[in-house]
Structure 1
């Protein structure tokens, strides 16, 4: 409903206007009345309205003076309609100069008032759509600049744009926030959700984060990970946030997490990266947040920690507590692809852990060491290998929904799959023969739910290695390649069909209209509707 203020020094005029039409039926609510311009100013300083209907001749302050003042002092940008018993054009001219929408002579006729109100509604709807479109474009453009910093591939323009939108005072951390889908019951069974359900939950989580952050909402961003199976929220935490809340860092993040968990009514987890001194170093904090996220999947049963920190220096200090001999033997077997030895070496590691009665924290530390060494093993095979994609492999390929995370059987499966991955990194003889087939398959099935894992199974190639090949061949991740192709297909449909946005969205493989529009803006610089309109205008 649009809020309306009526201003006239004659009470019977105010009463007549209130009764002349059914305001609510027409989409308006009478927010208040005033007897002159001064009373109207006092009202507007406390209450914002969308439309002001004011008499032109009143004591203390006329309607024209009221209009001039609220425009000059930016008190209100509401639509303004002048009422008058005078048909002098000079009054109308002054009103129009100050952005008056219309000029109605008394006595006001119902049909004339309805006509003006319909004009107000139509213009208000168009203005709202324009503001929403600008806001979407602005948010998408900002996200592109922030992701450039997060990924460590940015220039001065990216940096300046991010700094113009968000405060970057003191120490900074990248924090990954997600719905926690780790098993909660004794059986370790996971509740499987559809992609659409996951997306809806992610969007809800994002909104709750924005509600908590309020004016710091620019620090929160959707879909940072290039893994199409991740439904993550990225948070750029700065020290001032805790300081202004009167808390320390741990207390602030605990409070943040508790607040959004209560609204989500389900567990949420934060993965906290190392502190860096400047926003330009954000990619280092993002890297370590990813490591914390990967380690979380290996934590032993019974752990209930919801904020996972990773501080590299602390890990280095505790190396003396490692089951180093057992770990190094397992790492060696993985590197040499000795699958027949991997199960017995995993058993030996767990036996040593049990024999020494290591607690959950120390078990986690041992798994951390194992993962670090395996990451280094991949980089030793190929110095150009992308570390983020290795971590994605650890997250995605090793964790099937039916497997108890952190269990002995799970570690055996992961080690065997990683051995295959290292073997394929060494081979490098399949790139040309496979990528052309994969590219053709994507072009024929881009609207389907394609994943690297499915493509890897189809073409008998490790999915993590396939991801590396994608980046080397096309210069982008698989997710970006697929998204770019889908958007190009969507652009073609916008140009050559009259299909609506939601119909095009479904045809090119998306299931969330807002997500589709945001991705379109990110690549084309405007909404689908604007793209279609501009293209058709250029052809006329």
Structure 2
């Protein structure tokens, strides 16, 4: 609602204006004042959007009030009411930004025209402000990303310097949407909608600090995340430690979105020039969290804690394990895992020692796969394999989990070496064309054609430029369009024929793809 202040020293005029139109219907909330001074005092205490004031009033007339209002806020719309048709008054009023100058008695239609004009002007102004805010945020985001990636100059730092103290202690924080908890039927677009929901909740919590928040930061196409720069002053303002602040932030996001999320907190650094180091450590956490016990919040300092006596890498045992994985030899894998754990036991295993050894193993596996296919995100595939082999009742990072992961990764390496994806994609494409109406899933197809589902999803996206789910939807909708053109089937019959059980969902997807409803599409084709 726009707030309008009616100002006139004649009570009957004020009352007449109040009942002349339905202000609420027009989108206005009314306040009144009996002279310019009272009106000015009111505006100083409570902002208004529009002032409609008489020109002749005691203590302060309409022109004087207009001049004073302009000192306070140049954006307030101002309309002069007058019983005088003298050009001098109108000229003076327009000089100070009066949008209208109308003579008494005010006619209803004339007032409605003015109110609707101002409402339209205000709508345009809001759109302009929103567009400017979007451009400013996009510009700020680009500068932040330059800093996160360590490719920055003075301009990048100057851009962010009015948002934070660039020299204070800070860290990079990533908030991931746990897509594994979403329905398998979720398309990329629907996942992005959930991410946007998370982003809006972050806006509500961070408030003035939201400028430091960016959506979809990760380079990984399967990671849906938001990231932001946490500075020590954020917690200090609320008298909270960094851990307390981030826990409160996490709890707020969960409570206000009902989404499953994971928070990764990078290493603390001093100054914005070092934020890329914190960003890099958060990326390390993302890659390796699949081999850690599941947590709501991972802290780099905790996951990579090193004791005073130094760290021992069991390189011989791990290299033997890597060779066994590369050869796909399950017996040798099991033997190498047992030798690795025995060596860890002999040397006095600690959490930090185990973590460093596992980190060494995982980085070597990523390197091994990248040599065979460097066009897909091998870190993401490794993460998905780690997740898929962490079954209920199996401790993450334990001996059994390591064995199962090594078996699966060995099978994956064998697939890469055979370059199986080229032939399989053609077979899968043919199957989709034949069975698009069935409840096909990427997991079922990967099992049928003996190819790792994570890798299949990556190469599928690389070839077709979209996810498997979106590709399947496209095939279904193309077939639906063909049926609408060439048959007299009802809309619900077409939906069912191409594999949609929910007609409303079918209609929405059809509109997204074809730009109109199935009914309108059918009518247009009949013309």
TM-score by length of 2: 0.71
- Alignment pair present for 1:342 and 2:341: no
2:186 counterpart residue number: 194
CA distance in 2: counterparts of 1:469 and 1:297, whole angstroms = 22
Equivalences for residues 214-363 of structure 1 within 5 A: 214-265=207-258, 267-300=260-293, 305-311=295-301, 314-315=305-306, 320=311, 326-334=317-325, 338=329, 340-346=331-337, 362=350
Compute the displacement of 1:99 (Å). Answer: 1.6
Given that 1:271 and 1:289 are in contact with CA atoms closer than 8 Å, whether structure 2 keeps it comes out as yes
CA distance in 2: counterparts of 1:232 and 1:242, whole angstroms = 22
Per-residue CA deviations over 1:178-222 (Å, capped at 9, x if unaligned) read 345788xxxxxx865724554333222222222222111111111
For the pair shown, the structure with the greater C-alpha radius of gyration is 2
The partner residue of 2:132 within 131, 134, 146 is: 134
Structure 1 pair 462–324 and aligned structure 2 pair: CA distance change class (3 A): same
Per-residue CA deviations over 1:39-83 (Å, capped at 9, x if unaligned) read 112111221222111111111111111111121x23352211110
CA distance in 2: counterparts of 1:390 and 1:279, whole angstroms = 30
1:28 counterpart residue number: 28
Given that 1:334 and 1:419 are in contact with CA atoms closer than 8 Å, whether structure 2 keeps it comes out as yes
Per-residue CA deviations over 1:460-505 (Å, capped at 9, x if unaligned) read 99899999999xxxxxx969x879xx9xxxxxxxxxxxxxxx9999
CA distance in 2: counterparts of 1:328 and 1:128, whole angstroms = 62
Equivalences for residues 372-383 of structure 1 within 5 A: 372-376=360-364, 378-379=366-367
- Once superposed, what is the RMSD of the aligned Cα atoms? 4.7
Given that 1:4 and 1:50 are in contact with CA atoms closer than 8 Å, whether structure 2 keeps it comes out as yes
Q: Which runs of 5+ in 1 are unaligned?
A: 184-189, 442-450, 471-476, 487-501, 510-540
Compute the displacement of 1:154 (Å). Answer: 3.9
Between the two proteins, the alignment pairs up a number of residues equal to: 462
1:399 counterpart residue number: 387
Compute the displacement of 1:320 (Å). Answer: 4.8
CA distance in 2: counterparts of 1:155 and 1:394, whole angstroms = 35
Given that 2:313 and 2:356 are in contact with CA atoms closer than 8 Å, whether structure 1 keeps it comes out as no
- Alignment pair present for 1:414 and 2:405: yes
Given that 2:305 and 2:352 are in contact with CA atoms closer than 8 Å, whether structure 1 keeps it comes out as no
Equivalences for residues 142-181 of structure 1 within 5 A: 142-179=140-177
Given that 2:179 and 2:191 are in contact with CA atoms closer than 8 Å, whether structure 1 keeps it comes out as no
Compute the displacement of 1:16 (Å). Answer: 0.8
CA distance in 1: counterparts of 2:348 and 2:35, whole angstroms = 82
Q: Which runs of 5+ in 2 are unaligned?
A: 431-440, 471-507, 516-527
CA distance in 2: counterparts of 1:281 and 1:126, whole angstroms = 42
1:87 counterpart residue number: 85
2:253 aligns to what SS in structure 1? helix
Per-residue CA deviations over 1:416-453 (Å, capped at 9, x if unaligned) read 4545777899x79999x99xx9xxx9xxxxxxxxx999
Structure 1 pair 191–252 and aligned structure 2 pair: CA distance change class (3 A): same
Higher relative contact order (CA 8 A, sep 6+): 1
Structure 1 pair 322–101 and aligned structure 2 pair: CA distance change class (3 A): same
1:55 counterpart residue number: 54
CA distance in 1: counterparts of 2:370 and 2:314, whole angstroms = 28
